[in-house]
Structure 1
Amino acid sequence: MRQTGKRKCIYIALLLTMTLPLAGCWDTTEPERMVYVHGLGIDYKDQQYTVYLQILNPRLLAKSEVASGASGTKVEVGRASGKTIDDAIFKLYKSSQRRIFWGHLSFVLFTEEALKAEGIQATTDLLDRYRETRYRLWMYATNEPLLDVLTAVPIMEMSTALSRLSDPLATYEQSSFVKPIDMRELFILLNEPPYEANIPYINLIKENIWKTEKKSHPVIQIKGIASIKNKKLQKVIKNQNIYGLRWMTKDMEREALNLSANGFSDVSLLINKVKVKIKPIVKQSNIQFAISIKADAVLRENPKDKSLKKIMQVAEQTIKQQVKETYLHGVESNIDIYRLSEMLYRKNVQAWKNAEQNGKVPLTEDSIQKLDVQLHLIHGEKNRKRSTIK
């Protein structure tokens, strides 16, 4: 009996000894001892990639510290060049004072030169393979100096983690002009007909739009879209040529519509809950499309108490005109801006195979056979449809 008891004690002692290495995470790195990448900028010049890493100060993210007026550097940007993007990143590793962590990377910003050099293919291929990065990476293009954009902080001294680049949905829910696109959606668009994608094109405004009591504040805004095809930049289209794109975007949240017709320039509406239907019409070798747009409208401004019926007619005509003008600009640039080829591919793949050229259907000015817009006026804010002052 004594010998059996001794064996049990030996077994228990051995078991406890074996579990000691499991008592802690010996290979972990303390969070405060790492450097966190928040934004990535890619430039290309003289056959070399230049990589910009935007590093955040994590101590300024806590609400209590921000509220108490915590001071310190909000953002720091590292820069290095190499023949490949990975080569440039490893040069930054050699100069970094701590381990660089990529798990909080939020956005990627390309210059036009980088996009023309197929930098979007090289960058997404690298990020898709690395274990720390995620697919929820917002994609942007610009012609501004990347250092200026990456060091621009939000208004009211907010954390850079709340910038327009890292959190685009916050502003898109209020003004849905150009839809943000992440890396996952980019892969889908570039791998399905018409094998094109539009990413937001931004610029840096340095005029006195936002100003403190001490100085003006440079801010980032959407300037248009960059059309990507065959892994490189096809064309940059400015805002004034894509007014119709918002009405053809199924995820559009809300956007203002200002009427420009004679006598209605003082009237404005808010458009939301947009529903778009695209129907291919195939007649032998002739392919056209019927487009239906339905949306709710909210009356925002009507100071002269104009006829509601007339306002809705003018609004529907305005949307039709904008959709048509944007489409025609895309045709001139050989861009299927509404992805009509994809609709034919999904609904009549045989017709798509017969008509496609380099992955998309040839489009002409007459490819949109029918365009129908129906707006439903639901209210005028606070349920007022008449002018406030009689």
Structure 2
Amino acid sequence: MKKVLMVTSLILLLSGCANIREIQFQAYAVGVGIDYKDHEYHVVLQFLDFSNVAKTEQGKSDQPVPVWIASGKGRTVEDAIIEIYHGIQIPINYDQISLFVFGTSLLEHRLEKTLKSLDTNFNIRQTGWVYGTEEKVEEVFTTEVPFNYPYSNSRINQPEFMQQQDSTVPAISLQELVYQFNEKTKTIILPRISIAEKIVKRGQEKLPVTIFDGAYIMKDKTLKGYLSQQDLEGYIQVNNKAVRSPVIVVEGIEGKEDLVQIEMLKPKVKRVIDRDQNGVRIGLDINISAIIRESSQKVVLSPRIKRMIKEKITNEVYSSYLKSLQIGGDIYQFEDFMYRFMYEDWKETMKNKDFPMLTKENIEVKIRPLKSINKINSGIKLPLE
């Protein structure tokens, strides 16, 4: 009798595992793409075959890791996803999502509703990176990664790691986007990605790859416009998430110029906002290290080189500020800073529509230290400024 009771108890305890589905029988969504066209949401889910990813980790695969996508349309985001459910054949698992791609039309007309939909969807994690694009989402999700690595190794999936080689507009997560979108004084700088076909080749075969292509500027729940990578060069070089930014300065007189390749490292930028009898003054304090990476042997470390670097950084930082101001943005977040820490001053400036302007004179750049890998520069110490 005791044995019967024990067996019955074990059966009851283990019955909870009856509905467990093995992980290999699920479709793992790793990317979500959404656009809005012809009054409908177009949703694309990107899936990764993790069995093939495991093979690439064990040894180099001779074949590209396949990427699966499924698409659906609907009056709402959820309605479009339900259409995907009708054809995907196996249950979808959302635990591995690391990428969100929004089309330009969605950013212009339906971003707020889309963010609310994603924010209230308990299946979707908000830790993935977010980008905007003018490309077709299906084409973005089917670009290739060199050497047959899985798509999860692409630069847009690992933006922080790639910042160490060449910094660009820093990526933001969906969670950050939701938070910033609801702050009326925040300027959102959403990286834009596009597809390039001339950079990477397999033999002579061109491979489409994703690249960073500037950013969309949003403020007060409105898309203000787009700024190219060149427009944002100053911001890219000095924002606090930058790691390494190559810069070229021209040394010498006309006809005998030498291009000096500079590597700027780990900048620290701080907003400076003061009030005096003349009103509110805004400025930037920028601290940055620099290394001369490439130059002719005639170029040596000198205070003049240092001044040239400072002047170039100042000009580019100021140019990026003006470009964002022209379309209604504030990439250095002066207004948000005043709103949080100088509320009465902010309220007065907004009431009078007299928000202070940044000037070049109020951009302070400090380069310490300036080093060089050139042997002829070894041991030279520049005076502190």
TM-score, with structure 1 as normaliser: 0.88
Q: Which residue of 1 aligns with 2:98?
A: 106
Q: Distance in 2 between matches of 1:139 and 1:361?
A: 33
1:27 to 16, 19, 36: 19
1:195 to 168, 172, 186: 186
Residue type at the aligned position of 1:139: V
Q: Number of paired residues?
A: 374
Q: Which residue of 1 aligns with 2:383?
A: none
CA spacing shift, 1:72–1:294, aligned 2, 3 Å: closer
List aligned pairs for 1:120-199, cutoff 5 A. 121-192=112-183, 194-199=185-190
- RMSD of aligned Cα (Å): 2.6
Larger radius of gyration: 1
Given that residues 30 and 96 in structure 2 are in contact (C-alpha distance below 8 angstroms), is that contact kept between their aligned partners in structure 1?
yes
List aligned pairs for 1:65-76, cutoff 5 A. 67-69=59-61, 71=63, 74-76=66-68
List aligned pairs for 1:217-228, cutoff 5 A. 217-228=207-218
- The runs of 5 or more residues in structure 2 that have no matched partner are 380-385
1:175: how far off? 1.3
Given that residues 44 and 137 in structure 2 are in contact (C-alpha distance below 8 angstroms), is that contact kept between their aligned partners in structure 1?
yes
Q: Distance in 2 between matches of 1:353 and 1:14?
A: 75
- Which whole-Å deviations, capped at 9, do the CAs of 1:37-94 have from their partners, x for residues lacking one? 1111111111111111111111221155662426476102211111111110000001
Q: Which residue of 2 aligns with 1:276?
A: 269
- Which whole-Å deviations, capped at 9, do the CAs of 1:239-272 have from their partners, x for residues lacking one? 1111111234112111112114665651011111
1:323: how far off? 0.6
List aligned pairs for 1:309-348, cutoff 5 A. 309=302, 310-348=304-342
Given that residues 75 and 160 in structure 1 are in contact (C-alpha distance below 8 angstroms), is that contact kept between their aligned partners in structure 2?
yes
TM-score, with structure 2 as normaliser: 0.89
1:382: how far off? 8.4
- The runs of 5 or more residues in structure 1 that have no matched partner are 1-8
Q: Distance in 2 between matches of 1:153 and 1:132?
A: 28
- Which whole-Å deviations, capped at 9, do the CAs of 1:313-359 have from their partners, x for residues lacking one? 100110000011111111211111111112212331221222236xx
Q: Distance in 2 between matches of 1:385 and 1:63?
A: 49
Q: Which residue of 1 aligns with 2:249?
A: 259
Q: Is the counterpart of residue 236 in structure 1 residue 226 in structure 2? A: yes
Q: Is the counterpart of residue 51 in structure 1 residue 34 in structure 2? A: no
Q: Distance in 2 between matches of 1:122 and 1:28?
A: 34
Tell me, what secondary structure is at the counterpart of 2:259? coil
CA spacing shift, 1:367–1:188, aligned 2, 3 Å: farther
Given that residues 184 and 219 in structure 2 are in contact (C-alpha distance below 8 angstroms), is that contact kept between their aligned partners in structure 1?
no
Given that residues 67 and 151 in structure 2 are in contact (C-alpha distance below 8 angstroms), is that contact kept between their aligned partners in structure 1?
yes
Tell me, what secondary structure is at the counterpart of 1:256? strand
